[in-house]
Structure 1
Amino acid sequence: MVVSTKFGNTLCPVARSQAIMGDRWTIVVMRELFMGNRRFDDLMVQSQATPQMLTLQLRRLEASGLIERHPYTSRPPRYEYQLTTKGQAFYPVIRALREWGETWCKSENEDVAVRYKHLKCGGNAGLGVACETCGNVLRREDLKPEMSPSYARERAIRQAE
């Protein structure tokens, strides 16, 4: 049985997810939101999206219920973007992409871009879904990120430009 929905003619959850999150810009914008960037200019600088592309992505994420727009000034009108519960639920996907990218998409001499300290045990969380120190399942709120010097420098250069 084929069902016609706003996601096309499929019941496949992978295809439906891809319809929302299926391009580079959406994933990178979500990464930045998880890293704490909430304002348009910061999102644009770190995602390296054009203003038009970022506007499109933010509208798509808002229409899909992953983010909400909140004003932080009225003159001129400016907004910050916050993850909804639905958006926060995307975090394990970001972690899985990070793990895969750290394992398969870099040279041997590159350091891990972001290391996480597991606040529950104080150890290195590692790359997977369970803490490599204590073995407990990792939750976003139990992790403290620390960027490698080279990744922090890369982000600082983008911010300065």
Structure 2
Amino acid sequence: MGDPGDDTLCPIAHSTGLVGDRWSILIVRELLIGQGRFQDLQAQTGATSQMLAARLKRLEADGLVERHAYSQRPLRHEYRLTPKGRHLMPVILALRTWGEQWVKSEGEPTATRMFHRTCDTELELDGQCPSCKILVPWTEMRGQPSQAWAEERARRAAAFSDNLRKA
């Protein structure tokens, strides 16, 4: 039997069949911010190597991700989003907005600040530019991790590297 969403016209059912789990969404998040190497993806998502490999294969088979060799000896690949994968950005931004509004603890800092590329003004959570008074399309946004999130990511990467050395 195929995917449960195969027998419906509902685009939500089809979409969640492709990226409707935590690991796929976190992989896409990482690829959107430029992390494409397996080790970096594993460190930042917390996925096991088996889980990560399986999700990357599925994302590649579904046309969201492409593999590119960055080393021949030994052969190693990095992963990049295709145009189909990059167009998940509005979904990621919607999850970010919802999470900032409804999931974070009181006083917890924002993880990523978004800016309007045209005027370099920080955007409101809903994507409005306070300077230009427009809703900025995702293609005109630039993200910048907050210091707190950058430090968290650095700690996660260091811990992952330490665990690899000890293994």
Assess same fold via TM > 0.5: yes
5+ unaligned residues in a row in structure 1: which ranges? Answer: none
* 1:95–1:128 CA contact under 8 A, matched in 2: no
Match of 1:123 in 2: 121
Unaligned runs of 5+ in 2: 160-167
2:90 equivalent to 1:61: no
User: Is the Cα–Cα contact under 8 Å of residues 113 and 148 in structure 1 kept in the other structure?
Assistant: yes
* CA deviation after TM superposition for structure 1 residue 145, in Å: 2.2
C-alpha distance in 1, partners of 2:79/2:137? 22
Alpha-carbon distance in 1 for matches of 2:61, 2:101: 33
Is the 1:115–1:126 Cα contact (8 Å) retained in structure 2?
Answer: no
Cα distance in 2 for residues equivalent to 1:119 and 1:8:
39
**Matched residues, number:** 158
Report deviation, 1:5.
7.3
Counterpart AA for 2:34:
G
Contact 1:115 1:124 in 2 (8 A): yes
Q: 1:126 to 1:156 in 2, by over 3 A?
A: same
Write the deviation string for residues 22-62 of structure 1: whole angstroms up to 9, x where unpaired. 11000000000011101111111001111101000100100
Q: 1:156 to 1:95 in 2, by over 3 A?
A: same
User: 5 Å matches for 1:80-99?
Assistant: 80-99=78-97
Do structure 1's residue 149 and structure 2's residue 128 form an aligned pair?
A: no
Alpha-carbon shift at residue 144 of structure 1 (Å): 2.8
How far apart, CA to CA, are the structure 2 residues paired with 1:90 and 1:149?
25
What amino acid sits opposite 1:13 in the alignment? P
Match of 2:16 in 1: 18
> Displacement, 1:160?
0.5
SS at 2:121 equivalent: coil
Mapped partners of 1:33, 1:138: distance in 2: 22
Cα RMSD of the aligned pairs, angstroms, is 1.7
Q: State the one-letter code of the partner of 1:84.
A: T
**TM-score normalised per structure 1:** 0.90
TM-score relative to the length of structure 2: 0.87
Aligned partner letter, 1:75: R
Partner residue, 1:40: 38
Q: Which has the higher helix share?
A: 2
